[in-house]
Amino acid sequence: MFSFLLVALLLFTPFSNAEPIHIPLKRRAGTSKHHGAHIASLSASADGLRSRYGFDPSTHRVEALRQKRANKADIAVMNQARDSSYFGSVFIGTPPQEFGVILDTGSSDLWVADTDCSTCGGSTALYDPVKSSTYNASGQITDIRYGSGEVVGEIVADTVSMGGFTVTNQIFMSVDETSRNLLDGSVSGIVGFAFHAIASSQSTPFWQTLFNAGALESPEMSFWLDRLIDEDEDVPAEAPGGVFTLGGTNSSLYTGEIEFLDLPEAEVRSFWLLHLQSATVNGQSVQVNTGADALSAIDTGTTLIGGPSDDVKAIYAAVPGSQQLDGANEGFFSFPCNNTVEVSLSFGGRSWPISPEDMNLGVLDLEDTSTCVGGIFDLNLGSSLSAGGGNPHWVVGATFLKNVYSVFRASPPSVGFAELSNVALRNEASAPEPSPVAVATVANKGSFPTPSSAAQSFVPAFALSASVLMLSLFLS
């Protein structure tokens, strides 16, 4: 168990709750699905996701969760590798340095690569602490391992801004070593939007500092994630990919009411969790575990959907011509490319359909373009972990989230879904260009974690986002 509880005293100048800020997102696009599903990379990424959520057969969850306990911004989203990951801009330091970071509701840490990173790509923007007058070093080195990758760096503090929100003395990880090919293009790291309890750095997440200080107009974070996987032609390496709203919602991006579903009761909040209640394939009901046996992490930092072995098999059993893959591709399923596969999921309210375009990741073999790979895979393949224990049974990523407008609400703790508007479906939305100009500033007077508890983190159940592993997915 972690031995230190970070206490942040939030001192800030009073401000009125202004309109939320909407932040455009970006994506990096790769080749079309007709060029192949890159199944080897998908399999490696699936292994990383299993490890992250505690389903690695060689590891077990050994750490307990640490207890923790306006304005609004639209932030541009960019899309990487045809919907494999989505990132936005964050500014760190004084004067501010801009970085692309994956927006991840499945983790809680902020980390960026720094100028000492020898394993980072030449196009990756690197944090230079020497150039920041507000940089503060702890001298504590942290090694976070996940799946087949890792990041190593120092726990530091500096001024961090996103969408006009600024937190001074924000604690994060300055990374000087990563697994090779982990970062590429404009992405320099990750920013987590899950809860404090699962932060490997033991710091209060950026969003939660703002929420605790009353700086947000509404205790909500909302996502519209655009789709590129259905594009046949080559597209730019990094393309506009949606809008992330910090501190509320963007009513132009959804239609009708937002269906909010309460998070299950818990002593400590960790992930954004819901209970899966039903699944259908092409309108046909599928027998899957539900309720407490179907705890689902709603995760913007994950590309695919992973679920329990029996439930995933039941879904593909309803798909004509589907086959379970073996060998290095074990855990994935294929089906004839000319099949239209529409899966719908319900988490307690209405049933939300997943576009057939998102269920089809592309052809399995370039020599045989008649067989395609499905977007749902076996998450707990080979794991001896039993149900419960705080581990999600399902991880629901962009394969599902591209089909809804999603809202993550801190109070009361809940996740909401709504139908996408025509503005979103026609990709007519926009958000301001990234800017470090502050609209609200919060002073975080917390302290660094104790050296003994920050020396190393290996917590398979809530390590770094598997989407980071996906960065190199379509680069080969």
Point out the residues that are catalytic: 104, 299
Cβ–Cβ under 8 Å, residues 209 and 7: no
Mode of pairing for the β-strands spanning 295-298 and 394-396? parallel
Q: Which helix (H) or strand (E) holds 128?
A: none
State in Å, rounded, how far the first CA of the chain is from the last one.
40
Token pair 């479906």: residue:
425
Cβ–Cβ under 8 Å, residues 202 and 453: yes
Three-state secondary structure of 337-364: CCCCCCEEEECCCCEEECCHHHHEEEEE
Cis omega (within 30 of 0) for bond into 336: no
Distance CA 313, CA 333 (A): 9
Cβ–Cβ under 8 Å, residues 404 and 352: yes
List the beta strands (DSSP E) in 263-328.
Answer: 273-275, 278-281, 284-286, 295-298, 305-307, 323-324
With CA atoms as reference, report the closest residue to 98 among 67, 74, 66, 75.
75
CA–CA distance from 326 to each of 35, 372, 401, 419 (Å)? 21, 15, 28, 37
* Half-sphere exposure at residue 135, Cβ-oriented, CA atoms within 13 angstroms: 20
List the beta strands (DSSP E) in 30-164.
Answer: 73-80, 85-92, 97-104, 110-113, 136-146, 149-162
Token pair 């990379």: residue:
41
Distance CA 257, CA 405 (A): 11
- Identify the three-state secondary structure at position 452: helix
